[in-house]
A and B are shown apart, each in its own frame.
Chain A
Amino acid sequence: MSRYTRSLCSPDRQMLCASDGEKHEPVWFYKISSSEDGIMHLTDILVQEKLHFVRLRKMIYFDNAATTLRKPQAVINAVCQAMRSLGNCGRGAHEDALAASRIVYSARSAVSELFQCGNPRNVVFTANSTEALNTAILGMFEKGDHIISTDMEHNSVLRPLYYLQRMGVDVDFIPADMLGNIQYDDIPAYIRPETRAIICTHASNLTGNLVDVGHIGGLARAHGLLFIVDASQTAGIIPINMKRMNIDVLCFTGHKSLMGPQGTGGMCLAEGVKIRPLKRGGTGVQTYLKEQPEQMPTHLEAGTLNSHGIAGLEAAIRYIQQTSLEKIYAHEHMLMNRFYEGMRQIPEIRIYGDFRAERAPIVAINIGDIPSGEVSDILNERYDIATRPGAHCAPRMHQALGTVEQGAVRFSFGYDNTAEEVDAAVKAVKAITVEYLRK
């Protein structure tokens, strides 16, 4: 720190806060100007101090299930470096194009390794989970087919399925109970000769309840069904092994628990799985062919890839692997349990979901009958705590929980959150409860 000069905090000199990834203790820095060009070189500071996350505003962010706000500095560095140096992946053999092609291929390898896909060429990059899920759901079925899904799904699964229903595909949804769980024993009764696939989330984005995808995958394999999994809430914190779990198509997003940039995501296909392309267009290969090339991953990747974002995604996966999923899971679950225990002490609080088993780090609550949007706005405006109220794009889950009218306030925890932040949120919820319900 000696080579930097600290300046006083003023409107034009924003205060910076960086948290140490190891201890999760917030460490505060003032905006620093270098002696030579007057420009702050934050990267230098981070490298010197070995800090993992940077905070540009002192607030409490508990909306990590929507997107992780703070990315590891390694991710930011990788995107910046990529934006300075990459040409277009697959478009030419000059060094800049090859640099992009190499990074994209390296990212495919990282994704394949993380999910035990078995072949980097079966990793397809998309803009997000929604695009991956649409590609899979709209590209594998015909009129007369039957699909089994669940009440726990996000609209990124539900809306493509509802569209298929209008096209003559039959869809059944395994109902969720009041705890937000599905009953696995119910599934076999839904399987019939026309059934082609089971499509389900790995964890509810509303309750955080986990689905035993290993169990369902075994069931799907035993009945010769395709198994498509939405890993939007689990990729990067819960281990996923496509082979062991018998997953045929795994869809993921890069910007949530994987801690990568928005605009990244993808799908991993088991060997031999065929999907019709959702998009057709330039690929840099087989130019004179009128159809989309049949070979993977080009078959499902028309148009310029987001190489800059993918470079960040690769850095994010490497960061997670270096840190270890177990360590990330343990920290986020410590925070989740701390918040859950805090909520249990307040009689007016209703908590949704099942906390008896392994789960995604989410706690959804309501305070009495106060509308969820109102609670979330108070938390934001008065306490600078970011949460997500309302319906969370999960209509069937809210119907199952009986929260269609009120919605729910979702607290979702990330790797850079701290126990002190959780305690502040518990205190804030208590204060709101006292003010609105006990006076």
Chain B
Amino acid sequence: MREKAKTREWLIITFHTTAEAMAVEKACRDSGISGKLISAPRQLSSDCGIAWKCDILYRQTMEELLNASRIEFEQIHEITVQS
């Protein structure tokens, strides 16, 4: 019997500049939000080469953080990855 493919949902935030990406990493570290900087997937963005990846559960928290820290971003994406 074939095992059902597992999926995981991620939040990917893309930016216009490297400085914005760095600001998000620092703000997340300061706030205890886990995640990492990755190479921005080409299909999501042609802007900054770096994107922030974290669990989709952080969606609301991230939006609040971006707003409170006045950090500009290009877009917030939700992606599903099969493992």
Interface digits, A272-314 against B, CB 8 Å rule (1 contact, 0 not)? 0000000000011111100001011110000000000000000
| Given contacts A102-B22, A105-B22, A105-B23, A121 and B17 within 8 Å (CB-CB) | yes
Does residue B33 face the partner (Cβ distance < 8 Å to A)? no
Stretch at the interface among A88-96, A207-215, A253-261: A88-96
| Given contacts A92-B39, A286-B46, A293-B16, A101 and B72 within 8 Å (CB-CB) | no
| A101 partner, pick from B21, B39, B51, B70, beta carbons under 8 A | B21
The residue on B at minimum CB distance from A299 is B17
Q: Is there an interface contact between A295 and B16, defined as CB atoms closer than 8 Å? A: yes
| Given contacts A89-B18, A121-B20, A102 and B48 within 8 Å (CB-CB) | no
In residues 149-180 of chain A, which contact B (Cβ within 8 Å)? none
Contacts of B50 in A (CB 8 A): 90, 92-93, 98, 101
Q: Is there an interface contact between B70 and A284, defined as CB atoms closer than 8 Å? A: no
Contacts of B17 in A (CB 8 A): 90, 121, 283, 285, 293, 295-298
Contacts of B77 in A (CB 8 A): none
Most buried by A among B39, B50, B70: B50
Contacts of B48 in A (CB 8 A): 90, 284-286
| B23 partner, pick from A91, A98, A120, A288, beta carbons under 8 A | A120
Q: How distant is the Cα of A91 from the Cα of B48 in the complex, in angstroms? A: 9
Contacts of A288 in B (CB 8 A): 46
Q: How distant is the Cα of A108 from the Cα of B23 in the complex, in angstroms? A: 10
Q: Is there an interface contact between B46 and A287, defined as CB atoms closer than 8 Å? A: yes
The residue on A at minimum CB distance from B15 is A285
Q: Is there an interface contact between A286 and B47, defined as CB atoms closer than 8 Å? A: yes
Does residue A14 face the partner (Cβ distance < 8 Å to B)? no
Q: Is there an interface contact between B16 and A105, defined as CB atoms closer than 8 Å? A: no
Does residue A262 face the partner (Cβ distance < 8 Å to B)? no
Q: Is there an interface contact between A102 and B25, defined as CB atoms closer than 8 Å? A: yes
User: Nearest Cβ in chain A — how far from B46, in angstroms?
Assistant: 6
Tell me the interface secondary structure of chain B in the complex: mixed
Interface size of B by CB at 8 A reads 23
Q: How distant is the Cα of A288 from the Cα of B17 in the complex, in angstroms? A: 14
Q: How distant is the Cα of A86 from the Cα of B49 in the complex, in angstroms? A: 17
Residues of A in contact with B, size category: 20 to 34
In residues 85-116 of chain A, which contact B (Cβ within 8 Å)? 89-93, 98, 101-102, 104-105, 108-109
Contacts of A293 in B (CB 8 A): 16-17
Contacts of B19 in A (CB 8 A): 105, 108, 120-121, 296-298
Q: How distant is the Cα of A155 from the Cα of B23 in the complex, in angstroms? A: 36
| A93 partner, pick from B20, B23, B37, B47, beta carbons under 8 A | B37
Does residue A119 face the partner (Cβ distance < 8 Å to B)? yes
Most buried by A among B16, B19, B50, B51: B19
Does residue B79 face the partner (Cβ distance < 8 Å to A)? no
Q: How distant is the Cα of A90 from the Cα of B50 in the complex, in angstroms? A: 8
Contacts of A92 in B (CB 8 A): 39, 49-50
Interface digits, B20-50 against A, CB 8 Å rule (1 contact, 0 not)? 1111011000000000011110000011111
| Given contacts A102-B25, A105-B26, A90 and B18 within 8 Å (CB-CB) | yes
Contacts of A297 in B (CB 8 A): 17, 19
The residue on A at minimum CB distance from B71 is A121
7 nearest A-B residue pairs (beta carbon): A105-B22, A90-B18, A93-B39, A295-B16, A298-B17, A285-B48, A295-B17
Residues of chain A touching chain B, judged by Cβ–Cβ distance below 8 Å, are 89-93, 98, 101-102, 104-105, 108-109, 119-121, 283-288, 293, 295-298
Given contacts A92-B49, A93-B40, 19 further A-B contacts (CB under 8 A): A92-B50, A93-B39, A98-B37, A101-B21, A105-B22, A105-B26, A108-B19, A109-B26, A120-B19, A121-B20, A283-B17, A284-B48, A285-B17, A285-B47, A286-B46, A286-B47, A293-B16, A295-B17, A298-B16
Q: What are 19 A-B pairs with beta-carbon distances under 8 A? A: A89-B18, A90-B50, A93-B51, A101-B18, A101-B22, A101-B50, A105-B26, A119-B70, A121-B19, A121-B23, A284-B48, A284-B49, A285-B15, A285-B47, A285-B49, A293-B17, A295-B17, A298-B17, A298-B18
